[in-house]
Chains A and B, each alone.
Chain A
Amino acid sequence: MTWFPLLLVQGDVMLRTVEVTESDKPAPDRPVRKQKTARETIVLARGEKSGHAHVVRGKGLRLYRDPVAELLVPSGLYIGTLVLSGPATLTHEEHAAIPLPANTTFLVTRQREMSARSEREASIVSD
């Protein structure tokens, strides 16, 4: 899997572009959760207190969980893999919108902070 240097941050949510090569494509027996039908709106994360949400709007959006991609990020941070077949926009009530290019696959992750309980534990940031 090759990482392109396109890294978008909207508050506590990060999108990184990811190129899917032939070798990365799921083998028939790889347990990738079935991709949902393409949608026009996807809520990536919602704030615990404010209820404000990071929302992607566009056409032909798909979000799915890839267990292999999940292994690439620390535990609990992975939201999903976002596939855009057309241009889209990432919006939030308190952050400026970010345009997302078409025909792109993003790894979507959250932000963490160290838990008061232990240096080895982290809690998810939720603004």
Chain B
Amino acid sequence: MFPTSRAIVELNRAALDATIDEWSKIPTSTTPMDVQASEAAIRQLYHEAGLPSCANALEVRFADDPVAMVHEASVERKAGPVIQNRLQCAAMVNLDLLIDRELWLKIHHRVHSRFSRSRVTEQIWELINTETLTRRPRPHMARRIPDCILPTYVTSSLVIPDVAGKLAGAALPLGTQALLTLARSCGLVLPRQSVCWLSERPAEMHFNEQGLFNHPDVPAVRFHSGLKFCYWHGARVPADVMIPRESITVALVKEQGSIFLARLLIERMGIGRFIRESGALLASQDRTGRLFVEPLINSLGDQLWAAVEVVNGTPEPDGTYCRYYLQVPPQFTHSARAAVAWTYGLRPEDYVVTVRT
């Protein structure tokens, strides 16, 4: 008999949430691929899709990183067509067969309210697309790279069946189980008819608060193969600007041919230090703060850089007041109040503070 919606109350809610939390961590996992489990799962999935899955008919290859995987898969002539859609269909599960609709709705709501979707996969896709742009896939892989990759990346569509299966105490279809195993045990999967590539996960990843690749000092993404990429708040940056912070100079900032790289170097060296060492102009000063401006790249025209210095409303334990700096759009060259108001999303005339601590 199917469990009803009341069952979810009776079941251990902590265990349910633990399962959801476990899935939330998988996309950022740097655990090396479980080769045996991954290979068994992909052969099972081929089998469920009605495709030859024995060792003679299906070769499973392992790549050290997804860029190498896509490159190898795109130049392989004898592997047959990309079949990710077929495998995906074999893994789909009809939850109506497992649980009643009311319980499904409760699980759906719980997963969506607790499960935080990672942005890792879309960023890896973008990375792969950029890296393989010069190596266009052969005609048999003419589709966009993401369309060739099996969706083992973790979304709520994978979490819900797993949670529902556990709650219902019912075994999921073998195809679904295989897909869940792949999601847990390896990186991206690129399946073609007679060869399937499984790639390693990154060995190291760093993120900012928004879940974007980011690290100020070391590559934000690194694979065991040695492939590594530097990112600054989700944007790819050349490795040569990621020099030690103390080595960054005002001259180096102004040498950059891109306003983005110049701002990045300023953020890395510290806005306060840049203001001091560049002799930035104090353009405006009032009760809200001090506005500094500095021309950045003369060769590309009048590119102004602006930042506002704000003093904390509460003193430190030693009685001093901490200052901090915020970069603002360069149109704020006339008023510190306008710049500070912008940081709070207000017009200058609306920024009339009653209490500030």
Contact = CB atoms under 8 A, between A and B. Distances in A.
B314 A116 contact: no
B232 interface: yes
Interface in A48-62: 48
B93 interface: no
A112 B343 contact: yes
A73 B210 CA distance: 19
Contacts of A96: 313-314, 357
A5 B352 contact: yes
A95 B313 CA distance: 7
Interface stretch (B41-49, B50-58, B260-268): B260-268
B357 A124 contact: no
Contacts of B314: 94-96
Contacts of B264: 116
A16 B85 CA distance: 51
B235 A117 contact: yes
B9 interface: no
Contacts of B260: 116-118
B355 to A, nearest CB: 5
B81 interface: no
Interface stretch (A6-14, A22-30, A80-88): A6-14
Nearest to A48: B209
B356 interface: yes
Contact of A124 (B209, B353, B354): B209
Interface stretch (B173-181, B221-229, B322-330): B322-330
A117 B233 contact: yes
B258 to A, nearest CB: 10
Nearest to B261: A116
B357 A77 contact: no
B263 A7 contact: no
A11 B350 CA distance: 18
Contact of A14 (B234, B312, B326, B344): B344
B254 to A, nearest CB: 15
Given A11-B312, A116-B233, A116-B267, A98 B357 contact: yes
A123 B343 CA distance: 10
Contacts, number: 88
A73 B342 CA distance: 11
A113 B326 contact: yes
Contacts of B353: 7-9
Given A95-B357, A126-B209, A114 B327 contact: yes
Nearest to B356: A9
B125 interface: no
Given A94-B314, A117-B233, A125-B343, A9 B357 contact: yes
B345 interface: yes
Contact of B312 (A73, A95, A113, A119): A95
A3 interface: yes
A5 B345 CA distance: 16
Interface string A70-94: 0001100100000000000000101
A127 B122 CA distance: 28
Contacts of A94: 312, 314
B355 A8 contact: yes
A114 B326 CA distance: 7
Contacts of B266: 116
A98 B354 CA distance: 11
Contacts of B357: 9-11, 92, 95-98
A35 B357 CA distance: 29
A117 B236 CA distance: 10
Contacts of B234: 117
Contacts of B350: 3, 7
17 contacts: A5-B354, A7-B351, A8-B356, A11-B313, A11-B357, A95-B357, A96-B313, A109-B345, A112-B344, A113-B327, A115-B233, A116-B260, A116-B263, A117-B232, A123-B210, A124-B210, A127-B324
Interface of A: 3, 5-11, 14, 48, 73-74, 77, 92, 94-98, 109, 111-119, 123-127
Across the A-B interface, the 10 shortest Cβ-Cβ residue pairs: A116-B263, A96-B357, A113-B326, A9-B356, A74-B345, A95-B357, A114-B327, A96-B314, A48-B209, A95-B314
